[in-house]
Amino acid sequence: MGHEKGAALVSVLAIVVISLVLGGALQRFTAVEATQVQTEQARSQAHYVARSGMSVALSYLNTKIDQYINEANQNGVTWGSLDLPSGFKGTIEGAGRYEVDFALDGSRVRITVRGYAGAVVEVREAIAFDIDLQPTADGYVAIDAEELDWYDDPAGGTRHLKTVQRLGGPGKAGGPVLLHTKNGIQTKGDHEFCAPLLVFQTDTLTVKNDNRLLLRSNFVSFETAISIGQEHKGSVLILCVYDDNAIARPDGNYGVVYFDRVPGKNKNHMNPAIPSPGYYLFSNGTELWEEGVHGTLIPISSEYAALLLIRLLPGSSHFRPATS
C-alpha cells in the first residue's frame, strides 16, 4: 500500500520534470533560431558589404591603371608603378564596413576584402580576387570555338574558319573564346568574329591571299605564328575593339594584343612592325599586312597587359570565397 502512494507522487513529479524539460527545450530552440536568423542577415549583409569593397577596390585599381594609358612608353609599367597602398577601409552607410588588402605574392596580386555587418553580433565575410601578373588569358577562356561551330571542317587536319556567308553573319560570343587546334588554322574567304577575348593556340594562323580576317575583341592573344598573304592581293588581318570596356585614349579606343611570331614577306625576317614577341595596345581598326601595319601599335609590358585584362574583361564571376 505504501508503494501505491509513492507511485502517484512519482508519476506527477515525472510528468512535471518531462514537461519542464520539453518546455525548456522548446524555448531554447526558439531562442537559438532567433539568434540564427539575426546572424544569417548579418552574414548576408557582410557578404554584400565585402562585394561593395571589391567593387571600390577594382574601380580604384582601374583609376590607377588608367594613369598610364596615355604615356608614350608603357613598357616599364609594373604593379609597383601603380603605387597602391597595402589596403584601405570604407563604410557603406547603414549596412556595414569593409577592409581591403592588396598583397603581392611573387607574380600574383591578391585583393582580399572583408565585410563586417550586424548590429547585435558583428559578422565577418571575406572574398578575394587574384590577378596573375603573368599573361593570364587562359584563366578567362570558357568557350571552345569548336562548340561555337566556327570551323568549316572536322578536327584532325588544318582547320578552316567559317566565312561570314557560311555563318550567316559575324561569329559572335558573349564570353572569351579559345581557338585551339593542333595543325594550324586557315582562312577561306572573308571572316568576322566578335568576342571580348580571343585566344589563338595553334601552330600557324594563315590569312590566305584575297582573304580578310576581322576580329572584334578587346584582348586578342596570338599564341601562334601568323602568316599573311600578299598585300597586293588584299590579304589582311584587322583588329577592332569589342565594346565600351575598351581603353579610351584621346585618339580613340584601344585594345590589347599579344603577338608571338609574325614573319614578313621574307619568311626569315619578322614583320617590321612587330619585330619581337610581346604585348601591344592596338588602335581600333588596326590592319596587319604582310609587310607592316596600318594603325597604331604601342608596346606594353606583360605585367601591364595583365592589369589591363581585368579592366577589359570585368566580371564578378571571378570572385570566390577567400581562403584566408
Partner 1 sequence: MVKDQRGVTLIETLVALFVIAILVVSFASAFSSSLISIESWGNYYEALATAQNLLERAVAGEPLGEQDGIFTKRDVQWPDDVVPVPGTVITARVNYRTRFGLKGTVELSSFVAD
Positions that interact with partner 1 (CB under 8 A) = 1, 4-5, 8-9, 11-12, 15-16, 19, 22-23, 26-27, 29-30, 33-34, 37, 40-41, 44-45, 48-49, 51-52, 55-60, 63-64, 85, 88, 90, 92-95, 100
Closer residue to partner 1, CB minimum distance, 8 or 72: 8
Shortest distance, position 192 Cβ to partner 1, whole Å:
27
Shortest distance, position 119 Cβ to partner 1, whole Å:
12
Residues 205, 218: Cα–Cα separation, whole Å: 19
Shortest distance, position 68 Cβ to partner 1, whole Å:
15
Query: Is 157 strand, coil or helix?
Result: strand
| Secondary structure (H, E, C), 43-100 | HHHHHHHHHHHHHHHHHHHHHHHHCCCCCCCECCCCCHHHCCCCEEEEEECCCEEEEE
Return the number of other C-beta atoms located less than 10 Å from residue 194's C-beta. 19
What cell does 75 get?
613598357
Closest C-alpha among 106, 111, 86, 89 to residue 98? 89
Closer residue to partner 1, CB minimum distance, 65 or 293: 65
Return the number of other C-beta atoms located less than 10 Å from residue 231's C-beta. 14
What cell does 103 get?
598583397
Closer residue to partner 1, CB minimum distance, 32 or 155: 32
Cβ pair 279, 260 in contact under 8 A: no
Residues 71, 61: Cα–Cα separation, whole Å: 17
DSSP summary character for residue 163? P
Closer residue to partner 1, CB minimum distance, 21 or 155: 21
What cell does 239 get?
583588329
Decide the pairing of beta strands 278-283 and 236-240. Answer: unpaired
Closer residue to partner 1, CB minimum distance, 27 or 134: 27
Closer residue to partner 1, CB minimum distance, 37 or 121: 37
Shortest distance, position 324 Cβ to partner 1, whole Å:
22
Residues 126, 85: Cα–Cα separation, whole Å: 19
Shortest distance, position 6 Cβ to partner 1, whole Å:
10
Shortest distance, position 14 Cβ to partner 1, whole Å:
11
Q: What is the DSSP string of 105-126?
A: ETTEEEEEEEEEE-SSS-EEEE
Closer residue to partner 1, CB minimum distance, 220 or 246: 246
Shortest distance, position 113 Cβ to partner 1, whole Å:
11
Shortest distance, position 127 Cβ to partner 1, whole Å:
12
Closer residue to partner 1, CB minimum distance, 38 or 75: 38
Shortest distance, position 58 Cβ to partner 1, whole Å:
7
What cell does 67 get?
594613369
Cβ pair 129, 111 in contact under 8 A: yes
